[in-house]
Structure 1
Amino acid sequence: MKICITSGYKGGTGKSTFSEILVYVWRVLGLRAEAIRPFDKGGGVSVVDFPAFQLTDRRHLAELINCNYLVYVVDEDPQTLEAIEKIHVLMKKEVLGVLINKVIGKPSKEFLKAYRRLGHVHVARFDEKLAVHRATGMAPYKVRSVAVLDMAKAAVRLYEEVTRLKRL
């Protein structure tokens, strides 16, 4: 089963961070999952961490089509929403969830409404501790941060959905 994490052509949304946390949480919960990059071969449950790519990139689009399920990691900005809406129309795949990342305060009602049309929405608050984890070289799931906690909660909910789908 391939689960693809994407934000379309928008970079810097936290896809790789969430992918690492997702795989870590799923392994702790007993699901044999692995994080891979597009075009890598994986077996069992593979979480594919897609980089930002243009919609004219046929190779990435073809790889995205091979995914069983999608998870969108997004920001609260119109460019990300536009990118995800285009991907959503093109792919016609089941969406496990939408993670609105780096939220300061409460998420905007406008973006919540728009993203709810695509799938179940999870919110991860902005936290400076997580924002600098790459510079320190520390794995994101080892950072004590509210953002990591929010992402871990989203990962647990996605785990529940995946295990439900595997039983069907």
Structure 2
Amino acid sequence: MAKIRHTAEEPICFSTLKRVLIEKNKSVDICITSGAKGGTGKTTFANVFAYTYHILTGTSTRVVKPLDSYQGIEIAIVDFPAFQLTDKKYLKRLLRCDAVLYIVEEDFETLRAIEILHMLIKAEVLGVVINKVLEKPSKEFISIYSRFGKVYIIHFDKKLAIHKSVGIPPYRLRSIATLEIAKAAVDIIRKIEV
């Protein structure tokens, strides 16, 4: 197993960093990743998280792609695609993040991708979201992922799974998964906005 630096018990000092960056007119980058694993629901989570962050705090918050340039926003939710460690542009950008959220699934491929990334990342881990859980989550995966940060469970919901094909933003859907994402977002935002 990989060496784990962060634990769920460590205090998050990200709120201090956020205040300093905003005072210097720099955006704060919260990066959403699952490493090399695609299809985990990163973009959906990023959109609901950004919407919730803006509604709760009034802070200018926007979802951006990692290699895009952006100005005039206080909180940038950086939505990373799946990428390999050999992709130096994405890796370099991920290492510049101010905080990280892992979006994962209950499989060993995702776990391995996160373990490798976690050894490299110096930013605070705000949480681990186990997404698309069918029925009860695996205690084994909850235990393993909790070594990286607080674990949030999001159940699979067919309504949310098809939101892109019908063109409705995920935060506008009435779905159990959207509610669970919003609850996780509120908890994470409360830790940040102390």
Q: TM (normalized to structure 1)? A: 0.95
Correspondence for 2:141: 111
* Alignment deviations for residues 124-161 of structure 1 (CA, whole Å, 9 cap, x no partner): 01111111111111111111100000000011111112
1:74 Cα deviation from its structure 2 partner: 0.5
**Are the equivalent residues in 1 in contact too, given 2:95–2:120 (CA < 8 A)?**
no
1:41 Cα deviation from its structure 2 partner: 2.7
* Alignment deviations for residues 87-107 of structure 1 (CA, whole Å, 9 cap, x no partner): 001113210001100011111
Structure 1 residue 36 corresponds to structure 2 residue 64: yes
Correspondence for 2:39: 12
Correspondence for 2:97: 67
Tell me which amino acid in the other structure corresponds to 1:102.
Answer: K
Moved runs in structure 1, 4+ residues, more than 4 A? none
Identical aligned residues as a percent: 49
2:153 pairs with one of 112, 123, 136: 123
Cα distance in 2 between the residues matched to 1:66 and 1:151: 25
Question: Could you list the runs of 5+ residues in structure 2 that have no partner in the other structure?
Answer: 1-27
Cα distance in 1 between the residues matched to 2:52 and 2:37: 25
Number of aligned pairs? Answer: 164
Cα distance in 1 between the residues matched to 2:126 and 2:141: 18
CA RMSD of aligned residues (A): 0.9
Greater Cα radius of gyration, structure 1 or 2: 2
Correspondence for 2:54: 27
Correspondence for 2:21: none
Question: Could you list the runs of 5+ residues in structure 1 that have no partner in the other structure?
Answer: none
Tell me which amino acid in the other structure corresponds to 2:39.
Answer: G
1:40 Cα deviation from its structure 2 partner: 1.9
